[in-house]
Amino acid sequence: MDKLVVHGGSVLKGAINISGSKNASLPILAAAILTGEDCIIRRVPDVSDTNYMIQILSALGADVERSSGTVRITCADITDEAPYELVRRMRASICVMGPLLARKGRAVISLPGGCVIGDRPVDLHLKGMEALGAKVEFEGGNITLTAPNGLVGAEMDLRGDSGPTVLGTDNVMMAATLAEGITVIESAAAEPEVLDLANFLNSLGAKITGAGTRRIVIEGVKELKGVEHTVIPDRIEAGTFMAAAALAGEGVTLNRVNREHLKAITAAIIKSGHSVEFNEAGDSCFIQRGENPQGVDLTTSPYPGYPTDMQAQMTALLATTPGTSVIKDTIFPQRFMHCAELKRMGADIKIDHGTAIVRGVEQLSAAPVMASDLRASAALVLAALRAKGTTEISRVYHIDRGYEHIDEKLLMLGAKVERVRV
Ligand code: EPZ
């Protein structure tokens, strides 16, 4: 297992390109199941989650070819049973369920495990599949869904106790593309990655309107064709580097971003005293650390609100920002594993029922810390950039799940970081 060694006192300067979105790529790769024709998907980031999805699709019988960021995938002849061992290890693999059921009339997929950020139920996914006429059974850790006479369009509300479901919306939208008649999803997730998936599906020949809003309408079609598509930029990777630039930067440019997708993150970085300027086209931004940073209160909420996937990174920035900050995660109230590790580095954070009270300290100190999940690991790297001394971050495989070559990008910006194989 690798570890990242980060030498404190790093000053970030220069420019990097942001990669394609992991969270858009995963459902789009799964959506290729819906057609027997070639799909060419560009700017798929080389991270373990997408590599994992490609493994699952290959195990289902897809023919997959990958050259740098471009993936050609052809699901001419596929089976309806997803490999248990592969699926149980990545929650997002649940998004093969909808396309598999729609294409084959049957889908067998393992119940996804939970993870450190919280219990990851799929009740809303199954509610949607049943609304489309599927029969759902559980056996041996697998979910078996059957719709021998095909799926039938229906109206449904996919709101859960914590609001909309991103992958649940994706699953139903994909399944409904081949259902008989009209499907209406109320309380749909409106994340940019959902809209990117809808755009991909429409280019396959689906008939989807309203994606990107809380109400999506899908008119079923008989079959879908192959297509070429370029994935949107990864707004969470961009946000992570924005926070890094605010924490330890002297002028950092991020290219290949999308200003529209970054509104809530940009507002939080500016509110905490730093500057973010976009170019005219909105596809590049320049971040300068402010002279008088100040604590802010943040509450995560579904898009277009402040993203839960940027909560840990902002906590790392606020840990050494003067003042008191109150950070509440309404989507994953347990998503504070990074705080224990930040406290090991000297942060002053108190957790209380899904809320972190962060009192800014002058400087953190290096300590051997352990990554626990994807975004928590990113938060530890950020904290280490300005900490006193050298921080060793173990279990870096967590970070490799969702950040493409993060150490190389940090090195390009002048950070003193190296990956050590142990
Ligand atoms: C997606 O996960 C993202 N993953 C997550 O990013 C992100 O944190 C999450 O959306 C919220 O924005 C991908 O897109 C691959 P949800 P997803 O269903 O779809 C509850 C990262 O760091 N819920 O939107 O699995 C759930 O418990 C990852 O890149 C139900 O109750 O999340 C949560 O509280 C981590 N029943 C809330 O809804 C369900 O059936 C939102 O979850 C499904 C979800």
The answer, yes or no, to whether residue 140 has pLDDT greater than 90, is no
52 — phi, psi (to 5°)?
A: -65, -45
For residue 230, the CA-to-ligand 1 centroid distance in Å is 23
Can you give the pLDDT at residue 305? Answer: 98
- 125 Cβ below 6 A of ligand 1: yes
Tell me the per-residue pLDDT of 55-92, one tens digit each, with 9 for 90 and over.
999 999 999 999 989 999 999 999 999 988 888 888 89
With a 6 A CB cut-off, is 114 part of the ligand 1 pocket?
A: no
With b for 16 or more beta-carbon neighbours within 10 A and e for fewer, the 45-77 pattern comes to bebbbbebbbbbbebbebebeeeebebbbbbee
Of these residues, 39, 95, 115, 285, which one is catalytic? Answer: 115
Question: Does the pLDDT value for residue 13 go beyond 80?
Answer: yes
pLDDT of residue 113: 66
Is residue 251's pLDDT more than 90?
yes
Q: Report the C-alpha dihedral over residues 17, 22, 27, 33, rounded to 10 degrees.
A: 80
If DSSP codes are grouped into helix, strand and coil, which group holds residue 111?
coil
Query: What is the CA(390)–ligand 1 centre distance, in A?
Result: 34
pLDDT confidence of 316, banded at 50, 70, 90? very high
pLDDT tens per residue across span 328-338? 999 999 999 99
Instruction: Report DSSP letters for 31-44, one per residue.
Output: HGGG-SSEEEEE--
Q: Kindly state if the Cβ of 121 falls inside 6 Å of ligand 1.
A: yes
Going from the N-terminus, what domains does the chain have, and what CATH number goes with each? 2-19+233-421 (3.65.10.10), 22-230 (3.65.10.10)
> Which residues lie closer than 8 Å to 243 by C-beta, 6 or more apart?
269, 310, 313, 314, 316, 317, 382
Across 360-365, average pLDDT: 97
**pLDDT over 80 at 115, yes or no:** no
- Out of 120, 125, 232, give the residue to mutate to test ligand 1, the one with the largest number of ligand atoms within 8 Å of its CB: 120
* Range in 180-184, 238-242, 265-269, 394-398 the model is least confident about: 394-398
pLDDT of amino acid 120: 83
pTM of the predicted model over 0.95:
yes
354: left (phi over 0), alpha (psi -120 to 50) or beta: left
Name the pLDDT band for 114 (thresholds 50, 70, 90). low
**CA dihedral sign of residues 322, 304, 194, 335:** positive
- What is residue 372's predicted lDDT score, i.e. its pLDDT? 87
Lowest mean pLDDT among 76-85, 109-118, 203-212: 109-118
CA dist 155 and 88 (Å) reads: 30
Compute the distance from residue 153 Cα to the ligand 1 centre, in Å: 24
> Which residue, judged by its Cα, is nearest atom 27 of ligand 1?
120
Return the ligand 1 atom nearest residue 402 CA. Answer: 29
Structure tokens at 150: 């095909």
Query: Within a 10 A sphere around the Cβ of 84, how many other Cβ atoms?
Result: 15
